[in-house]
Structure 1
Amino acid sequence: MEAVILFPAIDLKNGECVRLEQGDMARATVFNTNPAAQARTFQDQGFEYLHVVDLDGAFAGKPVNAQAVEAMLKTVTMPVQLGGGIRDMKTVEGWLEKGITRVIIGTAAVRDPAFVKQAAAKFPGKVAVGLDARDGKVAVEGWAETSEVTALEIAKRFEDAGVAAIIFTDIARDGLLKGLNLDATIALADGVSIPVIASGGLASLDDVKAMLSPRASKLAGAISGRALYDGRLDPAQAIALIAAARASGNPS
């Protein structure tokens, strides 16, 4: 597996960089009115891969914050993965042509798995699946609806499909700084061969340490949002910790 990566997150709402609590659009905090400047800050801090979500797009079912995303792509050189409102091949192709490294498909992974398989086959290594779970069941449409299927059931659909990664978010913890739900994330990673990235609740350096522990060795990384914005997680310390783990050969 590739080395573990800590992805700083930029969530876009009305063209601004925000953080939500438990995916509730009414509980949004604006952290930066200039997402491109925020992306540059993350790059300057030494992060190597950016995670971006078009929140309005997730609800609308099509890209809404394209202007802000394009401004970020012009500002940074690091790879960017993008989710939110990616429901058809034209949207996938459009983003990849504009320079997005990897698209994240969420709702359509539940509603239209054939589309995900088609996209992953056409663009190997460029398609990730976003699975956001509430009490173990996957939520869709910007988390507005909860389905009846578990994250593992959906993840298993994409075994051998060429999906680059699964991004697993525990909605109950998202934006609340309660710590990653490593038990559920590791259980998912143990159930599939696709690399799994943890998301939701990362609160401190302890979470980064836990992600680097032997029991979490199958995880491909984690996403950090609010903890980076409000200073609970020091970027330099987190990046140094990951670099040290890589240098020691664990995780590989």
Structure 2
Amino acid sequence: MLIPAIDLIDGQVVRLRQGDFNRQTTFASSPLALAQDYQQQGAEWLHLVDLDGARNPAQRQLPLITEIAQTVGLRCQAGGGVRSRTDLEQLLQSGIERVVVGSVAVQQPQLVSAWLRQFGGERIVVAIDVNIAADGVAYAATNGWQAASQQPIEAVLAPLLTNGCQHVLCTDISRDGMLNGSNVALYRRLKQHYPQLQWQASGGVASVDDLRQLKQQGCDSVILGRALLDGRFTLKEALACWQNA
């Protein structure tokens, strides 16, 4: 499945390079209009990232997220600064089908494990953003990628797997927003090690050939952001490539 992404700051569609708020590009399309366009091109799911909420949960753009989820005929997953059960419940009540949890999964695995047990693995996407070390180990980063941890992705996943984790979104930070190709080898390794999980790849996709390679290596879903906004290809073209890969 291909999932177009809309990143939100102050009600506007933006993209960041490698998660850096000082490297922001703002796009003209309104979030609602863009979501409707993606639906018309054939999208089934939409990935919403509340960057205001990521910086400060009190600034979460819940009214806008609710409008998109309830107005556009797309199933939505959304995240950005989800740190408490209240945050999670508010998003579910807004019409979001899957809530994306990131740093809290690394920092408080027992809390996220409890959420998985209570709400079910189908309602939660564990997002793990990674820095790739020279030896190839993928280490999780937290706090909007500003803080590195000493935990490899395998250590982060271990306690979550036994509590019902089903969906994992993995972003190679070095590739995010850079349009220099996806880290195909990373997703191939992860899918081989954890075939029971539904993997969402994120970061670096620049061409439909990148999509073809990811599908051929067993990746379940791909998040598409900057490549669509920059017009590298249309979602309709991407979906045709994905279906035929």
* Aligned position for 1:170: 172
Identical-residue share of aligned pairs (%)? 36
Structure 1 CA distance for aligned equivalents of residues 110 and 165 of structure 2: 12
Contact 1:189 1:196 in 2 (8 A): yes
Matched, 1:73 2:69: yes
- The answer for unaligned runs of 5 or more in structure 2 is 133-137
Secondary structure at the aligned position of 2:81 is classed as coil
Structure 2 CA distance for aligned equivalents of residues 238 and 44 of structure 1: 14
* Aligned position for 2:231: 231
* Aligned position for 2:185: 183
Equivalent residue for 1:160, pick from 141, 159, 162? 162
* Aligned position for 1:129: 126
Alpha-carbon RMSD across the aligned residues, in angstroms, is 1.5
Contact 1:63 1:84 in 2 (8 A): no
Moved more, 27-36 or 7-16: 27-36
Contact 1:62 1:84 in 2 (8 A): no
Give aligned pairs, total.
238
Q: 2:105 corresponds to which letter in structure 1?
A: A
Question: Residue 31 of structure 1: CA displacement?
Answer: 1.4
Structure 2 CA distance for aligned equivalents of residues 114 and 61 of structure 1: 21
Secondary structure at the aligned position of 1:69 is classed as helix
* Aligned position for 1:151: 153
Matched, 1:208 2:211: yes
* Aligned position for 2:116: 120
Secondary structure at the aligned position of 2:174 is classed as coil
Kindly report structure 1 stretches of 4+ aligned residues shifted beyond 6 Å.
none
Structure 2 CA distance for aligned equivalents of residues 51 and 75 of structure 1: 15
Secondary structure at the aligned position of 1:239 is classed as helix
Q: Give the TM-score, by structure 2 length.
A: 0.92
Deviation string for 1:175-231 (max 9, x for gaps)?
010111111122222222322111011111001111221xx12x2111110100111
Q: 2:227 corresponds to which letter in structure 1?
A: A
Question: Residue 242 of structure 1: CA displacement?
Answer: 2.5
- The answer for unaligned runs of 5 or more in structure 1 is 246-252
Contact 2:62 2:91 in 1 (8 A): no
Question: Residue 157 of structure 1: CA displacement?
Answer: 2.3
Contact 1:179 1:203 in 2 (8 A): yes
Contact 2:129 2:142 in 1 (8 A): yes
Secondary structure at the aligned position of 1:80 is classed as strand
Deviation string for 1:8-65 (max 9, x for gaps)?
0101112211011011001110113521111111111111110111112122245622
